[in-house]
A and B are shown apart, each in its own frame.
Chain A
Amino acid sequence: MPKSKRRRLTLRNREVLAGFLFILPWLVGVTVFFLFNIVQAVIYSFNTVDFNLGGIGFTLTPQGFSNLRFALLEHGSFNRELVTSLTDMLVNVPLIIFFSLFIAVCLNRKFMGRGVVRAIFFLPVIMATSAIDGSLDAVMRMMMGGASSIPPEIAGQQAGFHPGAIAFMLVDFGVPVIFIGYILDALARLYEIIRATGVQILIFLAALQAIPTSMYEVAQIEGATAYETFWKITFPLVSPLILTNVIYTIVDTFAESSVVETAFNTAFIHQNFGLSAAMSLISSVIACLALLLVGWLISKKVFYQVGD
């Protein structure tokens, strides 16, 4: 039969073809909505972008590397912000990863109201949205100083807690004033870390749930301690997702760093799109390099379940 013959001939090709067919819809989307944009942004960074009078279209004037040079060497704050973001990332990423893994392991146990507790740990992600954030801001402002306080546009887009309001609440709870400075400092740091862990905890939870309980049963029968169980079962099996989470965290911290903010302001306040694109290009390249380095370091340690 010709049909079966054709099948046998293309067994390997069939797999390839199927693979491409599976990827195709996504590939079309990513090409149209992302790759084109990135290419455009790179082109902008080597040009001056001037908007035509009348508001339709723009003209590009080639500038060579001058945008990149200006961003790195002459701009007032960009290079400092870049260094700050990088060092912040260096400190925060390990903290975020360890904290989220620890919380995920705790939340993976069976206990009453587990779903609710998990939701609580996901709250920071939910809170960081405009309507909620806006009204939380409004509430905090009311608490701080009523009608005469700063309008939201000036107060910035920082989500979540405002330390000042917490200070008042702590006083309301009866905490001595002397301690409040320390408490606030610690809280601010902790909150910054915790705020950034919602998604990571979720990813780790999903990874933990993929570990079959039979492994833990075996370990228990063999008399392994909880400590050994963690380091010999849990940790190796979630380690591929540690890499994932590190990458997610780097992307996330970079996306919220002052570098991106500066790029945004350069583009939409100072109307210098070429320079803005150059800034983003630089920070993206640096983030990519960081990713490559971290990915290379971690993948040497990652335990991939080979199965057979």
Chain B
Amino acid sequence: MGGGVMRLGGVKSYIRSKKTKRVNRSLAGTVMLFIFLALVGAFMAMPLVLTINNAFKPLDELFLFPPRFFVRNPTRGNFTDLIILMQGSWVPFSRYVFNTIFITGMGTVGHLFLASAAAYPLAKNNFPGKNILFSIVVLSLMFSVVVTSIPNYMIITWLGLNNTYWAIILPAFSASLGLYLMKQFMEQIPDSLIESARLDGASEFTIYRSIVMPNVKPAWLTLVILMFQALWTTTGGVFLRDEQLKPLNFAMSQIVGGGIARAGAGAAVMLVMMSVPIGFFIFSQSRIIETMTTSGMKD
């Protein structure tokens, strides 16, 4: 297998290991590492902790000056405010939830299938024009959304997708980042694994479904997280104009945009909007187990 392991063996490292192994695996090292991680982690977690605290702060504490980090008298008032606001919305609130779930679900699943299907031949098949296609992928990564927004609007209108969910979903299908990511991971799969499946008479689709995809499971779970995050936060932009089509993020932004009067509900909104991607992240990360990329190999 990889040349890296081969060089590891031998007498030299064996002798040295007696001395250095202790140092590396020492308690002090572990503790130091833990402290560093804990510090960085605490730093990163600060917005989350602040969000949770704010969501339960009564108004007088939210406006307290100088501000306090932790809540003193937790209250549920912000959430009841939010629920009242939601009930008073012009379009039933469940509609916003449905819109977001539909857009996010369709977009993520579609993108996963299209990107991984396209990545498989790019990574493992040989055919003419492969390099040109891959250059297109990288090229489309480079162009910022800003500059292409006008032609994009024209295309969407021309296709009759303006003011439908598909204006958001279809471009998400063919986003290049996912394809790029999947291709890089698929290249790691040993060719012999695919060849042996081919010799056994598996069709390309079977190889894709039962050899390639299970082996890059960490990659596509990562992809799903990224796409979920991107679509979950869409506000519909210029394309979703009907109030019935607006996603949850838009409705929530409206509530937050209410300013000072909505401060409490705004704090609750933040907690609600954050907890879904975080929950999804933890869920999908827990699905990742060690893959078998090379465990089937005997060389």
Chain B contact surface mostly: helix
A72 in the interface (beta carbon within 8 A): no
> Judging by beta carbons under 8 Å apart, are B171 and A126 in contact?
no
Most chain B CB inside 10 Å of its own CB: which residue of A145, A171, A203, A277 = A203
| Bound-complex Cα distance A28 to B155 (A) | 13
Contacts of A207 in B (CB 8 A): 185, 218
CB nearest neighbor in B for A24: B118
Within residues 157 to 191 of chain A, which ones have a CB less than 8 A from any CB in chain B? 160-161, 165, 168-169, 171-173, 187, 190-191
Verify if B131 is at the interface (C-beta below 8 Å from A).
no
A131 within 8 A of B: yes
Contacts of B159 in A (CB 8 A): 32
Tell me, yes or no, whether A19 is within 8 Å of chain B by CB: yes
| Distance from A245 Cβ to chain B, minimum over Cβ atoms (Å) | 9
Cβ of B241 under 8 Å from chain A: no
The answer to whether A260 touches B146 (Cβ under 8 A) is yes
Does A297 belong to the interface (CB within 8 Å)? Answer: no
Cross-chain contact A225 with B249 (CB below 8 angstroms):
no
How many angstroms from the CA of A267 to the CA of B151 in the assembled complex? 13
- For B247-265 the 0/1 string (1 means CB < 8 A from A) is 0010011001101100100
Tell whether, in the assembled complex, residue A210 and residue B127 are in contact, meaning their CB atoms are under 8 Å apart.
no
A171 CA / B173 CA spacing, docked (Å): 48
Scoring A residues 246 to 282 as 1 if CB is less than 8 Å from chain B, else 0, what string do you get? 0110010011000010011001000001001101110
Residues of A within 8 A of B244 (CB): none
Chain B, interface residues (CB within 8 Å), range: 35 or more
CB 8 Å contact bits of B111-140 with A (1 = contact, 0 = none): 000110110111001111010010011111
Instruction: Give the CA-CA distance A129 to B144 in the complex, in Å.
Output: 18
B102 within 8 A of A: no
When A16-B128, A29-B173, A205-B218 are in contact, do A116 and B121 touch as well, CB less than 8 Å? no
Shortest CB distance A247–B (Å)? 7
B295 shortest CB reach to chain A, Å: 5
- Beyond A117-B41, A209-B290, A307-B299, whether A30 also contacts B136 by CB under 8 A is yes
Query: Do B47 and A161 touch across chains, with their CB atoms under 8 A apart?
Result: yes
Say how far B58's CB is from chain A's closest CB, in angstroms.
Answer: 13
Contact check, B17 vs A131: say whether CB atoms are below 8 A apart.
Answer: no
Identify the closest chain A residue to B191 (Cβ).
A307
Q: Is the CB of A120 within 8 A of B45?
A: yes
Residues of B within 8 A of A116 (CB): 282
Q: Which residues of B contact A73 (CB under 8 A)?
A: none
**Is there an interface contact between A168 and B66, defined as CB atoms closer than 8 Å?**
yes
A224-B256 contact, Cβ under 8 Å, with A120-B45, A202-B226, A219-B8: no
- Contacting residues, chain B, for A224 (C-beta < 8 A): 8, 13, 17
Contact call B293/A210, Cβ cutoff below 8 A: yes
**Complex Cα gap A241–B216 (Å):** 13
Cβ-neighbour of A236 out of B4, B192, B266 (below 8 A): B4
Complex Cα–Cα for A33 and B232 (A): 20
B150 on interface, CB distance cutoff 8 Å: yes
**Do A218 and B5 form a contact, CB below 8 Å, given A35-B140, A213-B290, A225-B17?**
yes
Instruction: Let me know if B144 and A263 touch, CB within 8 A.
Output: yes
Determine if B98 is an interface residue (Cβ-Cβ < 8 Å).
Answer: no
Q: Which of B14, B143, B249 contacts A223 (CB 8 A)?
A: B14
Which bucket holds chain A's interface residue count? Answer: 35 or more
B47 touches A127 (CB 8 A): yes
Q: Is B192's CB under 8 angstroms from A307's CB? A: yes
Knowing A131-B269, A169-B69, A307-B192 are in contact, say whether A26-B278 is a contact too (CB < 8 A). Answer: no
Chain B: minimal CB distance from A282 (Å) = 11
Chain A hits for B137, CB < 8 A: 30
Residues B147 and A305 in contact, CB atoms below 8 Å apart: no
- Residues B147 and A277 in contact, CB atoms below 8 Å apart: yes
- Distance between A251 CB and nearest chain B CB, rounded to angstroms: 5
With A130-B235, A139-B54 given, is the CB distance from A118 to B125 under 8 Å? no
Q: Which one, A30, A171, A212, contacts B66 given CB within 8 A? A: A171
Q: Is B99 an interface residue (CB 8 A)?
A: no
Q: Would you call A26 and B184 a contact (CB within 8 A)?
A: no
In the complex, the answer to whether A165 meets B67 with C-beta atoms within 8 Å is yes
Distance A120 CA – B40 CA, assembled complex (angstroms) = 10
Chain A residues closer than 8 Å to B93, beta-carbon distance: none
Q: How far is the CA of A232 from the CA of B144 in the complex (A)?
A: 38
Please give me the residue from chain B that is nearest to A49 by CB atom: B150
Q: Name 29 interchain pairs, CB-CB below 8 A, sorted by A.
A: A18-B204, A23-B122, A25-B114, A26-B174, A30-B137, A33-B170, A37-B152, A38-B143, A115-B282, A118-B281, A121-B41, A126-B281, A129-B229, A130-B233, A130-B249, A135-B269, A138-B256, A142-B62, A145-B65, A172-B67, A205-B222, A210-B185, A210-B293, A212-B290, A215-B2, A225-B21, A233-B8, A303-B2, A305-B188
Q: Which 8 A-B pairs have the closest CB atoms?
A: A29-B174, A307-B190, A19-B121, A280-B147, A223-B17, A40-B151, A143-B67, A129-B233
Known contacts A16-B127, A222-B14, A228-B8; can you find 19 more A-B pairs with CB under 8 A?
A18-B121, A25-B173, A26-B173, A29-B171, A32-B155, A34-B174, A37-B151, A40-B154, A106-B33, A117-B37, A129-B233, A131-B252, A160-B47, A171-B66, A172-B67, A207-B185, A237-B2, A240-B187, A305-B2
